[in-house]
Amino acid sequence: MLHRLQQRREDEGFTLIELLVVIIILAVLAAIVVFAVGGINNNSKTSACKADKKTVETAEEAYYATNNAYVDSDSASMVPKFLAEASVMYKATAAAGGGSYT
């Protein structure tokens, strides 16, 4: 009888504290993963903005090569339209007076 009682105690499984420790460890790991993925998403948006800026610069230089002049202020309204259609949203302003842009 005593042997059966001891054997039954050995087969009980995990304690509540052991389960709570495992759950806390999993929660900490999940939080680390969430913040890491958020950083990757932010880096991808930054890269997309840089690529869009380079596209606008290339288009400006192509226009200059064809017309021997930079885009005038009336045509610069096309840039915000281009950016509004892009998948990454940000605000850009055309330089007044032509000649240069940032």
Between 26 and 89, residue with greater pLDDT: 26
Domain containing 63 equals: 50-102
Residue 16 within any structural domain of the chain: no
Domain count across the chain: 1
Q: Is residue 86 scored above 70 in pLDDT?
A: no
**Token pair recorded at residue 43:** 């880096």
Question: Does 22 fall in a domain?
Answer: no
- Give me the pLDDT at residue 35, please: 84
The answer to whether residue 62 sits within a structural domain is yes
Question: Which pLDDT does position 67 carry in this prediction?
Answer: 84
More confident residue, 73 or 20: 20
Q: What is the pLDDT of residue 101?
A: 47
- Residue 64 counted as domain residue: yes
Give alpha helix (H) positions in the chain: 2-10, 16-67, 78-85
User: Is 3 inside any structural domain?
Assistant: no
Which of the listed ranges 27-36, 59-68, 73-82 does the model predict with the highest average pLDDT?
27-36
For 44-56, the pLDDT digits (tens) are 888 888 898 898 8
Is 82 inside any structural domain?
Answer: yes
Q: Does 7 fall in a domain? A: no
- Between CA 46 and CA 19 the distance in angstroms is 41
Share of the chain above pLDDT 90, in %: 16
Residue 35 belongs to a domain: no
Predicted confidence (pLDDT) at residue 80 exceeds the cutoff of 70: no
Q: Stretch 13-34: mean pLDDT, rounded? A: 93
